[in-house]
Structure 1
Amino acid sequence: MFNPSVFSRLSHDVMNNSCSRPLISLTVRFISKSSSDPSQSFVVAYLKDKLGFSPESAMAADKYLLFKTPEKPDSVLEFLQKHGFSKTQIEKIIKVRPGLLYSNAEKTLLPKLQFFQSRGVSSPELIKILFYNPKVLTRSLEKKIIPCFNQLSNLLQSDYNAVKAIKRYPFLTSCPLDVYMLPNISFLRDNGVPESNIISMFICHPRSFVVNPDTFKEIVKEVKEMGFDPLLPKFLFAVVVFRKISKPAIERKFEVYKKWGWSEKEIWEAFRLYPGVVESSEEKIAGIMDFLVNEMGFESLLLANQPFVLARSLEKRIVPRGLFAQDLLSKGLIKSFGLSALFNTSEKVFVERFVNRYEDKAAELLSLYKEKMNLAVGGKYRSSYS
């Protein structure tokens, strides 16, 4: 059913994605210098004393840095501190992009921060974005950053959506979108995927769209051949799952389900109902199955028919709600319960349906529910299955 070469190439893309690799050699374009005793250079001493570099890291960066006085690098460090970056964040940013120490902070760095803030990025959000992708600070504002952001904003139909996507995958601000992203989106359109579905899924999973177009096309074709309807959101969900998870990882998760009595056919049927059945870790899958089957008494194959439950948090939803429902059952307040009613409702709906509804018969129910929450998060279920 599946072409192993798709996943082989996919793994290669993930490991070699140029958008995600902060390479000093590609960033710093300064002439290397020689020194009879590099361990004694001003740069080495500065990086060690000011930024806590190890001797090895300082000497490696020293090959690319030429400053002999502290004024320029001091101004950069003070600028970053002034704008909310912690000492640890600054140290890691400079290790990845040592060339920043040559920057004119007010002329080249400040306008970039101001641009993102003008588009709706808060200061804490901006710090996180730049920490994970400091390459942005070395790019041209006019030639690279603004065109890239505008392109993303036009695609997602608002600055707000563009910011949401960048927050989830900061490397969007430095990726060649024309190469890695736009061809993939165009291919989805050609296959009948609605624009609204593309936008929604891209905002939630932007990294899944940044991949070699040939690999992406093969994944889309595989999903289509499985019978997924391109008009439904589930189609793109399946594409994202296969983009994120390698074939060997999927096979390992299949083995976990098989240990609980699911056949290969039943696993694929569950996948068609809810592609997220292969998103959770093997440990989480085993933990959910164990609790629901052995603790709650559900039939294993019932979960194959309602696989959505495998996406829920074991600690925050499944265990506390399950234990609470068992208490209601033992008190005679309810006669039965189903997976959907227990685990596929919001917290507000669950409390209204299972807690407040019986308040007049058992006033202590809310406290009991909170007790189950604490047990799940801090007790044996956390240590066993988290």
Structure 2
Amino acid sequence: MSRLTNFKKWKIKKGIFDHFPSKTLTPFLTFLSSLFLRLPFLPGAAWPLRLSPPIFLHSFILFWGICSFSHSSSQQVTNRYLSTSSDIVSSPTSAPLASNALQLKNKRKAVIALLADHGFSESQISDLDKRFPQILSANPEKSLLPKLLFFQSKGLSSPEIVKLVCSFPRVLTGSLDKRIIPAFDYIQAVLGSEEKTLASIKQFAGILVKDLRISAGPNIEILKQIGVPDSNIFKYLQYQPRVFLINPVRFKETVERVTEMGFNPQQLQFVVAVFILRAMTKSTWDKKVEVYRKWGLSEEEILLAFRRHPWSMMRSEDKINGAMDFFVNKMGCEASFAARRPILLSLSLKKRILPRGYVYQVLLSKGLIKKHQNLILFFESSENCFIEKFINPHKEQIPGLLELYKQKLMDSRR
């Protein structure tokens, strides 16, 4: 039997070429036939890429269709391909592929239904699929459901579970028996209660997919060895668990750096400084130091500010500049004032400093307060305390001051 006869004997259902223009169909088939005739047919040899003749023809049809209809959208091409492929007679190669595709589609439907039943919205499921598509291909009954039930058994509500998973989708793909349960038990053993453990994983669910005896354990021991109280360690494990998930060598280097800066291991600020330096690269630290230098602060003053309030170094360069500009140029403070009162630089510029700064200027212009008097209390106090101490006592002298202040707050949120 000749190769051409073999080619003609392929079972192609009627209508497969109906979508192709007749002017290009004949040359295409001629080309395909000539190419087919040139391919070697050795006894027992496999087709290129192990494709059977019908699948090989199928691939050429798809390729030709894409090239011929480049003006069409990708979705139209895909739809045409799918409708065309359904007309090709099943082959030993295509049947398993179709079966696998159907199984995958059914599994995705089952996963979506399971997540929806546990409180996930359509948009949240779509977001999970984009960020971590492995979830929608997991086994819903054997892999996902046991983890959701485990979280429920620990007292987490459906909204809390949804928030937990959306914040760290990988928590649903980690092994329940080998990772999640051992991690949960380890944290509970360290913190001493299930309530504190839940608070920790709510802060960072990623702690549940780590082998904590290897990652967190050595770092906790490093802090204990230099005299950090257990209460401070546990407080950070509860509210900032991410700080412990670092290579022990790097963690020890950070701890040594904090010690050299003059922090007291007995104080909570020591652990805070470790957390901040761990979250910041050296180049980022150097850039922020340079910002303070431009405002006239010395190296010693910058370290003093960091020791008094480490969070002052977590502000962006723009926010540091904005706060320094306000206190130095508008309030008339010395640049060194920031080193002595660094907590002021950690306050929100738009939501706290500027609105209250407006009230400060009004009171100062009326002679109702003295310059630089009670600045810490003025800017740091709670909202209710600020209104009670600095606005209500002056209602008669400055009518409408409270309304003006609230308007400034509203403007800052726009």
Tell me the TM-score normalised to structure 2 length: 0.71
Partners of 1:98 and 1:255 in 2: how far apart?
43
1:224 is aligned to 2:285: no
CA contact (8 A) 1:120 1:159 kept: no
Residue aligning to 1:341 = 377
Letter in 2 for 1:272: R
CA RMSD of aligned residues (A): 2.8
Partners of 2:378 and 2:350 in 1: how far apart?
14
Residue aligning to 1:210 = 245
> What is the CA-CA distance between 1:150 and the residue it aligns to?
1.7
Identical positions, percent = 42
SS at match of 1:181: helix
CA contact (8 A) 2:179 2:210 kept: no
Q: For 1:232-381, list aligned pairs within 5 A.
A: 232-336=267-371, 337-378=373-414
CA contact (8 A) 1:120 1:160 kept: no
The number of aligned residues is 325
Task: Specify whether residues 363 and 228 from structure 1 end up closer, same or farther in structure 2 by C-alpha distance, changes over 3 A only.
Answer: same
> What is the CA-CA distance between 1:339 and the residue it aligns to?
2.6
1:146 is aligned to 2:173: no
Task: Specify whether residues 77 and 354 from structure 1 end up closer, same or farther in structure 2 by C-alpha distance, changes over 3 A only.
Answer: same
* 1:188-242 CA distance string (max 9 Å, x none): 1111111111122233322121100011111112211222111101111111111
Q: Greater shift after overlay, 260-269 or 243-252?
A: 260-269
Letter in 2 for 1:287: G
CA contact (8 A) 1:320 1:375 kept: no
Task: Specify whether residues 95 and 371 from structure 1 end up closer, same or farther in structure 2 by C-alpha distance, changes over 3 A only.
Answer: closer
Partners of 1:360 and 1:120 in 2: how far apart?
53
Task: Specify whether residues 161 and 293 from structure 1 end up closer, same or farther in structure 2 by C-alpha distance, changes over 3 A only.
Answer: same
Residue aligning to 2:112 = 77
CA contact (8 A) 1:198 1:236 kept: yes
Partners of 2:270 and 2:308 in 1: how far apart?
11
Task: Specify whether residues 94 and 332 from structure 1 end up closer, same or farther in structure 2 by C-alpha distance, changes over 3 A only.
Answer: same
Q: Which has the larger radius of gyration?
A: 2
Partners of 1:218 and 1:342 in 2: how far apart?
39
Q: Which has the higher contact order (CA 8 A, sep 6+)?
A: 1
* 1:345-377 CA distance string (max 9 Å, x none): 222221221122333444423212212212333
CA contact (8 A) 2:320 2:345 kept: yes
CA contact (8 A) 1:237 1:275 kept: yes
Residue aligning to 1:12 = none
Letter in 2 for 1:68: L
Q: Greater shift after overlay, 284-293 or 195-204?
A: 195-204
Letter in 2 for 1:356: N
Q: Greater shift after overlay, 238-247 or 164-173?
A: 164-173
Partners of 2:411 and 2:327 in 1: how far apart?
16
Residue aligning to 2:44 = none
Letter in 2 for 1:340: I
Gaps (5+ residues) in structure 2? 1-49, 63-73, 76-96
Residue aligning to 1:197 = 232
* 1:305-363 CA distance string (max 9 Å, x none): 11111111111111111111111222232233333122222222212211223334444
Counterpart among 80, 85, 102 of residue 68 in structure 1: 102
> What is the CA-CA distance between 1:262 and the residue it aligns to?
1.0
Task: Specify whether residues 235 and 109 from structure 1 end up closer, same or farther in structure 2 by C-alpha distance, changes over 3 A only.
Answer: same
CA contact (8 A) 2:355 2:408 kept: yes
Partners of 1:249 and 1:102 in 2: how far apart?
40
Partners of 1:212 and 1:198 in 2: how far apart?
17
Residue aligning to 1:175 = 210
Task: Specify whether residues 100 and 204 from structure 1 end up closer, same or farther in structure 2 by C-alpha distance, changes over 3 A only.
Answer: closer
Gaps (5+ residues) in structure 1? 1-32, 41-47, 50-62, 379-386
Counterpart among 93, 102, 122 of residue 157 in structure 2: 122
Counterpart among 163, 169, 186 of residue 198 in structure 2: 163
Letter in 2 for 1:155: V
* 1:173-202 CA distance string (max 9 Å, x none): 111211211110111111111111112223
CA contact (8 A) 2:312 2:345 kept: yes
Letter in 1 for 2:335: S
Residue aligning to 1:30 = none
CA contact (8 A) 1:165 1:204 kept: yes
Partners of 2:327 and 2:261 in 1: how far apart?
29
Q: Greater shift after overlay, 144-153 or 246-255?
A: 144-153
Letter in 1 for 2:385: V
> What is the CA-CA distance between 1:98 and the residue it aligns to?
4.1
Task: Specify whether residues 368 and 66 from structure 1 end up closer, same or farther in structure 2 by C-alpha distance, changes over 3 A only.
Answer: same
CA contact (8 A) 1:93 1:134 kept: yes
